[in-house]
Structure formats: C-alpha cells, structure tokens
Amino acid sequence: MNKIKVLVFPCGSEVGLEIHRSLKHSRHVELFGASSVNDHGKFVYENYIGNVPNINDVDFVEHFKKIISDNKIEAIYPAMDIAISFLKPLEQEFNCKVIASSVETSRICSSKKLTYTLLNSVMNVPRVYDNIIDVENFPVFIKPNVGYGSRGAKVIKTLNEGISHIEEWGDCIISDYLPGEEYTVDCFTNKKGELMFSGPRPRRRTRTGISVNTISLDVTERFEFEEIARTINSKMEFRGAWFYQVKRDINNKLSLLEVASRMGGSSLLYRYKGVNFALLSIFDSFDFDVSIVENKASIEIDRALGVVVNMDYDFDKVYVDFDDCLIIEGKVNTSLVAKLYQYINEGKKVTLITRHAFDINESLKKYRLSTLFDEVIHLDRKDKKSKYIKGNKSIFIDDSHVERFDVSEVHDIPVFAPDMIN
C-alpha cells in the first residue's frame, strides 16, 4: 500500500509529539505536522507547516483547506480536545478523514457536565454541586467544565476560595474531592464498536496535568477498570483511541473524573508494551481490520523535559575523536553514534580522527564500528588534529579542550565536547 499522508494538528502538543513518536518509523504513514504557534513540533516533524491561523480565526478553515490540498493530505489527526471538536464536524468539507470519534461523542467528552449526566446512572461519578454556596463540607474539587490538563483544576478548602476561583475561571464543575489514587485508562475501540483494549496506569507523579511517572498493571489487576471501560463504550460511540480517568473515593471505590475521545499523552506506556494507539487508529479509520498483541513484561516509564538543539550552521563534514569521546570507559557512546548516523542520513561525511594507542581498525572491529566512517585518520602522538581538518564547512567533536581550542583557532569552525551533542 502507498503511504497514507497524515497531518497532525497541533503537532507540538503533548499528544502531537506522542503521535510523532508512534508513527515516525512507520512504513505506512507519511507524517506532516502543523501548528499555529512556534513550539516543539517544528524541531521534530520533518514535514513541518508553521504560521497556521488560530483555530478561532475567520480564515482558519480556508487556510487549512489549502494545506490539505497542497500536500495531498488524506487524514487529519487532531492532537487536542478543542481541535477534535472543531475539525471533526468539518470532515466532509475538508474531503479528508478526521481521525477521531463521532461528533456527538466529542461533544459529550468536551463537557464534564454532559459526561456525568450521561453516565451517572450506570457508574460511580462524584457528587456535583450546582453552586459553591451549596457545599456544606470542604474540601471540594473545582475544574473548568470545558478544559484540558490541569488548567483551572484546584482543591478548594473554603467558600471564599471557591468563589474567587470561579470568578477567575468562569463555568466550572464543582464536585466532591476524591482522596484516593488516580488512574488513566487507555482504550481502543474498533470500527465495529468493539472495545479491543483497556489498560490502566496509575498517575504516580504528574506535572501540569500530565502523568510523568506510571507503571503498567498486571492483567489480573485490570478487571474493575475493564468493566468501567465496557460500560462507557456501551454508552458512547467511540472509534479509535480514547481514555478515561478515575480516582478512588473515601470508600476506595473508583469514581469517574473524565472521558476523552483521543489518545493520552502518556499512552506511550502501552506503546512500549506493543499497543500503538496512533497507528491502530489510522488503520481502523481507513477500515482495515486490526489486532493487538500486548507484551507481558511489566513496564515503568518516567518522563522528564527533553531537549532538541537546532544549530544555525551549514556543514557537510564531521570530524570526531575516538578515546573518551566515541568510546567512554570501554563502552560505546550510543548517543553520539546515533547522532553520527543522523549526519550520515543527511548526506554529511563522517571522519574519525584519533591518536588511539592501538590498532584502530582492530578497536573499531571490537566495538562493531568498522563501517561507520567515510575516512579514518590515525595520527601519531605529536601530530595536531587541526592539520588534517579540510574545508570551512565542518564541525569537530573531541573531549579535549586543548584539541578543540586549537581547531577553533586554526579553522574558525564550531567545536563540541561529547556532552554538547544531542
């Protein structure tokens, strides 16, 4: 089959970045990323489209149509709740698939009040108050009725605090505070409406509403979560990836927090176990039959702020050292090797330049690096590396400050220690 051209919007959101990680190596998908703001997406999407009007601007739809037409996009993958709500109803006008559940399901998921109203007769949901003045026992939990992540979510301890918070955030849902452990449950429903997967993950540590540390639960621990997933799936028309969040109440019973008609940003936990929600959703959207094989091994993920470096310097050749640079304490510097392969993919020449004390070819063979380099320059102890650098469109990577200083002085090219390469 030909590659399916998929446009992710907004591509720099947490979900947009997980979609990229999920699909970047797929031979079935050609990825495009678009965004209205300068964000991390432009550093990771090879086919990046910036300066898209804000979704609320009057010219957004026409601009988006042109992006779809110019790039022959076959499917749009919305990467935020607001994008789903806006784009899904325009599926026919775009003449392009929008990978999301139905318009009605997206509408219900966008409102916690609508979600609770639909589900409160079939499952445990928190008690909801019409007005903050109706609350007799604090604390309570307040969150905007329409929102995402942890924006505007707060545990309220007093009446005055609640009044102030609602004045700031507007339409909010006020509910009983649930003191127990919180879980996100990643789900997948196929084109027939069948729930094919539900996997809970405890939100052990969060940052700005995003789970940054979590573990997979054994199949034997999932029964109560799967029952809830089946109940929700029977009441709402899902297609593709979705998730729900629950928290234990004072009686240790799971109580619903919210349902979302999209994949979760930390669903990568189950991707590492074999469940690629983004790819499954694309295949299902194009009416392919899909199956799921989950690895049995337990997984823990811990996420921290990642870094991408974009250097404004055009170069076509890389010189790199061996000892204490490519090989550190007898082990291959895998981060540097990965970067060298990236340079090779970009058509740059990679040269090893070293004073290695032993037979360099034997050492390269030992570390399985024999075919990595376009050229190997093996110097004696007195040679200066700067003597062998050719051209002014090069970079030099070496752990030695003395070597870097000399090459910089002689050639005026960028020089890097191993820790500077990302």
329 and 231 in one domain? Answer: no
Q: What is the pTM of this model?
A: 0.85
Among 99-103, 161-165, 281-285, 353-357, which is the least confidently predicted range? 161-165
Q: Answer whether 398's CB lies under 8 Å from 336's CB.
A: no
pLDDT band at 309 (very low <50, low <70, confident <90, very high): confident
- The tally of domains found in the chain comes to 4
Please indicate, yes or no, if residue 309 is contained in any of the structural domains: no
Same-domain status, 152 and 68: no
Rounded Cα gap, residues 100 and 81, in angstroms? 10
* pLDDT tens digits, one per residue of 205-238: 887 778 889 999 988 899 999 999 999 999 999 9
In a domain, 240, yes or no: yes
pLDDT of residue 148: 61
Q: What are the structure tokens assigned to 335, written together?
A: 């981060």
pLDDT at 107: 95
- Same domain, residue pair 186 and 224: yes
Residue 77 CA to residue 261 CA, distance in Å, equals: 12
For residues 134 and 97, the model is more confident at 97
> Do residues 321 and 409 share a domain?
yes
**Residue 72 CB partners (closer than 8 Å, separation 6+):** 5
Domain match, 284 and 204 both: yes
- Sequence length of the chain is 422
Does residue 276 belong to any structural domain of this protein? yes
pLDDT at 331 over 70: yes
Residue pair 261/106 in contact (Cβ under 8 Å)? The answer is yes
Output the domain CATH number for residue 323: 3.40.50.1000
Q: What is the CATH number of the domain that holds 231?
A: 3.30.470.20
Question: Domain with 79 in it: what CATH number?
Answer: 3.40.50.20
Q: Are residues 334 and 407 in the same domain?
A: yes
How far is 247 from 258, CA to CA, in rounded Å? 10
Task: Write the CB contacts of 77 (distance below 8 Å, at least 6 apart in sequence).
Answer: 6, 7, 8, 9, 19, 99, 278, 281, 282
Contact assessment for residue 142 and residue 174, using Cβ atoms and an 8 Å cutoff: yes
Q: Which range is least confidently modeled, 29-43, 67-81, 296-310, 323-337?
A: 296-310
Same-domain pairing of 165 and 223: no
Q: What is the pLDDT of residue 147?
A: 65
Q: Are residues 410 and 342 in the same domain?
A: yes
Q: Are 254 and 248 in contact (CB under 8 A)?
A: yes
Share of residues in the chain with pLDDT > 90 (%) = 76
Name the packing angle between helices 14-23 and 277-285 (round to 10°): 80
Return the C-alpha torsion angle 37, 89, 32, 39, nearest 10: 20
- Residues 188 and 161 placed together within one structural domain of the fold: no
Domain boundary among 148, 176, 204: 176
In a domain, 59, yes or no: yes
Same domain (yes/no): 217, 279:
yes
Instruction: With respect to residue 68, please indicate whether it lies within any of the assigned structural domains.
Output: yes
Is residue 32, in this structure, part of any structural domain at all?
yes
Phi, psi angle pair for 53, to nearest 5°: -55, 155
Please indicate, yes or no, whether residues 321 and 410 belong to a single structural domain of this protein. Answer: yes
CATH assignment of the domain containing 160: 3.30.1490.20
What does the pLDDT look like over 36-65, one tens digit per residue?
A: 999 999 999 999 999 999 999 999 999 999
Domain extent for 47:
4-100
Co-location of 190 and 288 in the same domain: yes
Amino acid 48: pLDDT: 98
User: What does the pLDDT read at residue 311?
Assistant: 81
Domain termination residue (choose one: 146, 176, 206): 176
Q: Whose CA is closest to 19, among 35, 27, 7, 36?
A: 7
